Structure 1
Amino acid sequence: MRYGFAATFAVIALLLPSLAAAQKASVTRDLPVEVSLNGQFTYTINIGINAGGPPVALGIEETLPKGWQLVSVNTTYAKANASANTFYWLFGPAVIGLPPVQDATIMLTTTPANQNGSFSGYWYADDEEGFIGGDNATIVAAARQDGNGGGGGGGGGTSGGGFGAGIAGTFCLSGQTKPCGSNVGECRPGARSCLNGAWSAQCAGEVAPAAELCDHLDNDCNGVADNGITCECFITDRRACGSEIGACRPGRLSCDAGRWGTCGGAVGPFDEICGNGIDDDCDAFVDEAECIYEAKDICRDGAISSPCMCGNHTYTAGYCYSNEFSMQPRELFVWLPLILIGAGLVFWGVSVEMHWRKKRSRAGSRVQPVT
């Protein structure tokens, strides 16, 4: 059939030899990557005229995949071979009733069968000819599972202009890629690749949604920054803390997970040391009454006679026993009762002995000791 159509085309060129010239045209096909089973979709055949003027005549033949149906076309075809599913267009001089040879787009609306489609086409321009360039195959998606529609109206296989999530198992051609992920907030899209006829589960290069961070950014990519969390402060916030009075020096508070953290870098306050002329506790008073004496000596057990350390503090008076401070001497409380009891027993024994000796001196040897 191709050669019969080519012969008709050659007759037209011969009838107008004065118009024939070595002009060139280009013909390409633009198909969506995927189409929905039983859903209509539109694709285009694009005619481009090269610089220097149009050819005298241009012929195009297009063969649809087996079982596919041509629903409509915006440019009337000159001939059709229903059994081969092939359609022919002829452009040339208006004097013989043909549409003009010019830049044009043939839009074909088709209904796919239940199998992937492979298209074939051929074009003739004066003494030139060639296969229709561009896309020559598309995929029939029996059931889309990733949010991407079949691409009716030549939409390129996506719906709504968004990025489909995509999962493994959707039909595709190896080597193809498609966008995935989000471009909202801090998210950035990536790409899925077709491996062995199925879209990969991984969205390569994607910056995925994350938890909100109190940073004035839309980390979870829902279009709203810092939503769903309570922010006492933000991640870049800093605040002075501490004191500049006396021996103290200020530090800085940092924001951690939306809350103010500890005062980093601050100096003081300290215990007030007596006699050093410094406001150690940073209360604007120097060596006030509650100050302590600074000493390096460790107190001996017993009474404190000079500043020394007992436990973790310095004392100038009192008592220290085994590194524990006491206001009273512990020995007095521990031994005094025993001393008194012992003294009482001694005095009682002496009294008994004197009483016995006195009676014995009066009665002589007849007196027996009382037991």
Structure 2
Amino acid sequence: MLVGVPKEIKIHEYRVGLTPEAVREYVAAGHEVLVEAGAGAGIAAADADYAAAGAAIAASAAEVFSRAEMVVKVKEPQPTEWTQLREGQILFTYLHLAPDPAQTAGLIESGVTAVAYETVTDRFGGLPLLAPMSEVAGRLAIEAAGASLKRHAGGRGILIGGVPGVPPARIVVIGGGVVGTHAARMAAGLGADVVVLDRSLPRLRQLDELFEGRVRTRFSTLHAVEEEVVAADVVIGAVLIPGAAAPRLVSRAQLSRMKRGAVLVDVAIDQGGCFETSRPTTHADPTFEVDGVIHYCVANMPGSVPLTSSYALNNATLPFGLAMAGKGLDAIRSDPHLAAGLNVHRGEVTNASVATSLRMAYVPVEKALGP
């Protein structure tokens, strides 16, 4: 199969769909790889590095999209990209369709087979292609919070870990999954006063054992969220419903009761955000203020550390990409975990959560793909 890697064009997105090492694996498996010139610049991978790994270098993204049988990206296709997709082509990337009806309509119209990293599953019930970026985003969330808390950035002027005689920042993490766990680990490591809210008692027990009392856990109720948010210096939104739009857990009314200069970091912004006042921002202009509260809602947080992120992502996606390059649609038919990643196929929405969120017709994967 001819596998294409275009350069990412989302603003301040420096990751790349395939690293040179991953390209070498595809070539060794008998596939051709076409990489757009400059695609690896964000990770300091020159075109010569890709050529040495066995890739051909394309002069433009148009050449990649027109020739490739499978396109491997990082971020969701932008409007100028989804118009170049076609029926019979596989798109393998993050999609986050639930809050994005325009992209969904574009993919439907193209007829492409779109497999989303964020809904591919594993035998443990996890999301193996979302996990590495969730790990990165969870850790970056605390870095972003620390920067936003500084007075010149509009924050309260608090050092996350405090100093002897002065209390640390109070950080509330809503959601105890991968993002929340890594955010809590970073915050606790810096000496913050951390509480994690979640609705799963088994998960709260795991976190309690993991952090050995260094992080407080609390069952997430409406009252608990409101009480913790109002008292917080930082709130990390880390709630995920696979494939679906994120639930809005903090209202504008609750926001108005928060401390002036407090910080909200909405890691769920890719799925629409979990704060009522959230809207996507970019690394170029990452924050905005509502009612005196700083909002950090960058939709591609891991893009700021592309070297770490690209390699972590490729480590996870490589086996699935190789499977589809080798077997095409049969790889999806034969693997229920890969089938869970199929969101759109030949004009039909094949993910129930996406269809529900966008109020669109849903067609099961088995029916869409056929025998």
TM-score with structure 1 length normalisation? Answer: 0.19
- Whichever structure has more helix as a proportion of its residues is 2
Query: Which protein has the bigger strand share?
Result: 1
Relative contact order higher in (CA < 8 Å, ≥ 6 apart)? 2
